């Protein structure tokens, strides 16, 4: 079963599955990372739209995902926000490895817990770099393989289970992948479980 099919299958209950970590960890990280962004923002892997409420009202947000099931949930959130007079958000069904935007389009590209499930993360990151303006910035919240040997062994044990259910590879070296795609990292902040969860900012 493809990664897209896995996300389509669990889209109806995805927010419920992630509720505990959303309340205790992710929500605060999202707000801190996204609440001051402005201009044209591209969110790659928008999923069910968990980030949308954290963007400032003046930002022009474009979200893409390759799962129609996840996008349907995001559309419901956008409709609710628009009914309250909030947010300028446009959503597209699109593959992160083959984006249909011109070069130098966006002021920011945002990814949150996405690179673990993209088949070729470096290829997708090169696309993100392409669509960023030269003055733009990549903002990422990601989980990755720890440099701590004990934690890395635990990740190795859990990884086959996560990959089977949602196509999530927990053992990727995401910082190095961002560098391989041509970005210059300007901030690398450990968030939780030593260096498993990180906030990363990078320039194209």
Spatial CB neighbours of 177, under 8 Å, sequence gap ≥ 6: 115, 121, 122, 125
CATH code, 80: 3.40.50.150
- Dmax (CA) for the chain in angstroms is 49
Task: Show the tokens assigned to 130.
Answer: 């392409």
Q: Yes or no: say if 130 and 103 are a contact pair by the CB < 8 Å rule.
A: yes
| CA pair distance 109, 81, nearest whole angstrom | 21
* pLDDT given for residue 15 in this prediction: 83
Instruction: Give the chain's domain count.
Output: 1
- What distance in Å separates the CA atoms of residue 142 and residue 82, rounded to the nearest whole number? 28
- In this structure, the number of other CB atoms found within 10 A of the CB of residue 180 comes to 13
Whether 56 and 108 have beta carbons less than 8 Å apart is answered as no
Instruction: Report the C-alpha gap between 38 and 59 in whole angstroms.
Output: 5
Q: Are 174 and 159 in contact (CB under 8 A)?
A: no
Kindly tell me if the per-residue pLDDT of 197 is higher than 90.
Answer: yes
Residue 113: per-residue pLDDT: 95
Mind listing the pLDDT tens digit for each residue in 171-190? 899 999 999 999 999 999 99
Alpha-carbon distance of 101 to 45, in angstroms, equals 15
Cα torsion through 41, 187, 176, 103, rounded to 10: 30
pLDDT tier, 1 (very low <50, low <70, confident <90, very high otherwise): low
Residues 119, 3: contact at Cβ < 8 Å? yes
Q: For the segment 45-92, what is each residue's pLDDT rounded down to a tens digit?
A: 999 999 999 999 889 999 999 999 999 999 999 998 876 666 689 999
The whole domain housing 171 covers 3-203
């Amino acid at each position: 079963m493809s990664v897209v099919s896995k996300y389509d299958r669990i889209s109806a209950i995805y927010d419920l599955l992630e509720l505990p970590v959303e309340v205790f960890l992710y929500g605060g990280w999202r707000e801190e990372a996204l609440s001051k962004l402005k201009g044209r923002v591209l969110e790659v892997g928008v999923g069910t739209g968990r980030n949308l409420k954290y963007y400032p009202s003046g930002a022009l947000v474009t979200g893409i995902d390759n799962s129609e099931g996840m996008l349907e949930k995001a559309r419901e959130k956008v409709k609710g926000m628009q009914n309250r007079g909030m947010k300028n958000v446009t959503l597209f069904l699109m593959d992160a490895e083959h984006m249909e935007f011109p070069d130098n389009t966006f002021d920011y590209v945002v990814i949150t817990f996405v690179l673990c499930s993209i088949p070729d993360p470096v290829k997708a990151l090169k696309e993100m770099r392409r669509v960023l303006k030269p003055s733009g910035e990549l903002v990422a919240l990601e989980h990755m393989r720890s440099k701590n040997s004990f934690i890395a062994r635990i990740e190795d044990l859990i990884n086959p289970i996560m990959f089977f259910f949602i196509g999530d590879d927990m053992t990727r070296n995401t910082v190095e992948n961002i560098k391989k795609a041509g970005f210059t990292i300007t901030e690398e902040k450990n968030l939780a479980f030593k260096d498993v969860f990180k906030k990363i900012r990078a320039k194209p």
